[in-house]
Chains A and B, each alone.
Chain A
Amino acid sequence: GQQLNQSPQSMFIQEGEDVSMNCTSSSIFNTWLWYKQDPGEGPVLLIALYKAGELTSNGRLTAQFGITRKDSFLNISASIPSDVGIYFCAGRDSGSARQLTFGSGTQLTVLP
């Protein structure tokens, strides 16, 4: 089946710093989604990407759909304390199953 490798597993950064995380897959995806999950809540959609090479921003967040269609990254600029949480990438393949596969998450901690 599909496998998603998300890295890093965890990050500790100072408030105000930029952060980058990425996902790579073993198969080609036609959709990449980035979610954030706070404790006790469900994942919340941050950015959706639908075309290879697409670069999309949402406030201080920027994500890109890799040219090979097997990777994606998420950047957060000028981090603030409320950025703390777990960030998940998710990809949907181009086959008939349309299954959405999730990475294992990046735990982000922002230090004051």
Chain B
Amino acid sequence: ETGVTQSPTHLIKTRGQQVTLRCSSQSGHNTVSWYQQALGQGPQFIFQYYREEENGRGNFPPRFSGLQFPNYSSELNVNALELDDSALYLCASSFGPLETQYFGPGTRLLVL
């Protein structure tokens, strides 16, 4: 059984660009949650996808968007990147929206 995987591991972008981060959920999981962790802070909830629909969103602007595919993998898209978007982006998958979340290794995004 494979765990949660994320790609790429590291990414460097410039301000104003767009970025797509990917997450493959653990086998049997139908829910993916995304978190942003700025340096020195705890992770902050961005949104959750359950059965291909957004199922809750944190305090993030609309330029943060997502998708979930029929195989339950997920993408996080960020448009018009800002310097403050530099962070570790974590995804977590679970058997359902209220079940225990299992985290991937994260994608480190640096915006210059």
A, B from the same assembly: no
Q: Which residues of A contact B (CB under 8 A)?
A: none
Q: Which residues of B contact A (CB under 8 A)?
A: none
